């Protein structure tokens, strides 16, 4: 599979690349092509030192928009504030069959702590903005909001966590579930259609507040039963 990571130079992008390059061809994206290429070279060194010759995928770098050409999956690993501009640039490069993954969290901060921007500023959830900017809505899948980049990047360790997944098309959800299952210790929990994404996105400010107030490093979420 060919996976493009828009904003792949950030912490989450590095984690996705390191986890998925074991089996897939990953293209790191940036607004600056040289920065993307440098990040890709760095990530591939880390991956090779860990996986050795058992790794069959690759990591390369490109600009945020060219990477979408020929991609089966594109992950938007960018800040909430940049969704509209990024989707505008991407839309003419991405095929309508490419699955688009949004791990984006609209994260704000007030004196009380971290908050969920759509709730306090009456803005839209990230997944809704992505669906408007990069339709068809059916190919958008929302996931990975409550995963810590620190744990994702640590490829030798198990995440021991769940991630909530939302999407309208079960074929697209199933493809993302397969990528989730390739990340050691990560379990997919389906939450419902994309309209439910706000519930998954809002978990991150809650987790960050719990982390700060209780001095818990990089907490995750796991359903128990
Ligand atoms: N960090 C976490 O633990 C975590 C956990 C769960 C979900 N998330 C979500 O996952 C997404 C990525 O997280 P992250 O921590 O990796 O984000 P980040 O480091 O803040 O940003 C990722 C990349 O986005 C690009 N970028 C920054 N400003 C931009 C702009 N105005 N327009 C276009 N691109 C821009 C930058 O790449 P270039 O400068 O190379 O273009 C940057 O390296 C975010 O939406 C975040 O809410 C993060």
Confidence of residue 74 (pLDDT cuts 50, 70, 90): very high
Kindly report the pTM of this predicted structure.
0.98
Q: Is 200 in the pocket of ligand 1 (CB under 6 A)?
A: no
What would the pLDDT profile of 28-44 be if each residue is shown by its tens digit?
Answer: 999 999 999 999 999 99
The pLDDT of residue 191 is: 98
Give the count of alpha carbons within 13 A of 56, CB side only.
4
Dist. CA 9 → ligand 1 center (Å):
8
Domain 2-214: CATH superfamily is NAD(P)-binding Rossmann-like Domain (3.40.50.720)
pLDDT at 69 over 90: yes
Six token digits for residue 222? 């796991």
pLDDT at 53: 92
CA of 126, closest atom in ligand 1: 45
pLDDT at residue number 206: 97
The span from the CA of 86 to the CA of 78, in Å, is: 9
pLDDT in tens, 178-213: 999 999 999 999 999 999 999 999 999 999 999 999
Reduced to 3 states, what is the DSSP secondary structure of residue 4?
strand
DSSP letters spanning 20-85: HTTTSEEEEEESSHHHHHHHHHHHHHHHHHHHGGG---EEEEEETTGGGTT-SEEEE-S-GGGHHH
Q: How far is the centre of ligand 1, averaged over its atoms, from the C-alpha of 7 (Å)?
A: 6
Q: Look at residue 120 and tell me whether its pLDDT is greater than 90.
A: yes
> Do 19 and 91 meet the contact criterion of CB atoms below 8 Å apart?
no
Query: pLDDT digit string (tens) for 212-222?
Result: 999 999 999 99
Which residue's C-alpha comes closest to atom 43 of ligand 1? Answer: 10
pLDDT of residue 80: 98
pLDDT value, residue 143: 98
Residue spans per domain, the chain: 2-214
Beta bridge partners of 25: 2, 58
Tell me which DSSP letter residue 223 carries. -
Asked whether residue 135 carries a pLDDT value surpassing 90, the answer given is no
So what's the pLDDT on residue 60?
98
- Phi/psi-derived region of residue 4, left when phi > 0, alpha when psi is between -120 and 50, beta in every other case: beta
User: DSSP for 141-198?
Assistant: EE--TT--HHHHH-TTS---EEEEEEES-HHHHHHHHHHHHTSTTEEEEEEESGGGHH
Residue 18 in contact with residue 75, Cβ under 8 Å?
no
Closest CA to 15 of 151, 146, 152: 152
Ligand 1 mean position, distance from CA 141 (Å): 18
pLDDT at position 72, please? 98
Residues 154-186 have pLDDT tens digits of 999 999 999 999 999 999 999 999 999 999 999
Q: Is the CB of 7 under 6 A from ligand 1?
A: yes
Question: What Cα–Cα distance (Å) separates residue 18 from each residue in 42, 56, 145, 157, 176?
Answer: 10, 12, 18, 12, 16
């Amino acid at each position: 599979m060919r996976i493009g990571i828009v904003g792949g130079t950030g912490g989450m992008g590095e984690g996705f690349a390191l986890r998925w390059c074991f089996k897939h061809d990953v293209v790191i994206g940036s607004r600056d092509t040289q920065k993307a290429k440098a990040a890709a070279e760095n990530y591939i060194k880390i991956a090779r030192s860990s996986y050795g010759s058992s790794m069959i995928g690759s990591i390369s770098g490109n600009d945020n928009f060219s990477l979408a050409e020929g991609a089966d999956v594109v992950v938007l690993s960018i800040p909430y504030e940049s969704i509209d501009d990024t989707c505008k640039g991407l839309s003419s490069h991405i095929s309508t069959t490419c699955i688009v993954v949004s791990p984006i969290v609209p994260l704000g901060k007030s004196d009380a702590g971290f908050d969920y921007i759509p709730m306090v500023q009456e803005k839209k959830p990230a997944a809704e903005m992505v669906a408007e900017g990069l339709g068809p809505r059916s190919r958008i899948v929302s996931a990975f909001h409550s995963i810590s980049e620190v744990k994702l990047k640590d490829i030798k360790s198990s995440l021991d966590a769940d991630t909530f997944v939302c999407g309208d098309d079960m074929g697209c959800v199933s493809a993302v579930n397969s990528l989730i299952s390739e990340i050691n210790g990560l379990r997919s929990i389906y939450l419902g259609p994309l309209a439910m994404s706000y519930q998954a996105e809002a978990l991150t400010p809650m987790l960050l507040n719990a982390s700060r107030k209780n001095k818990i490093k990089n907490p995750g979420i796991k359903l128990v039963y």
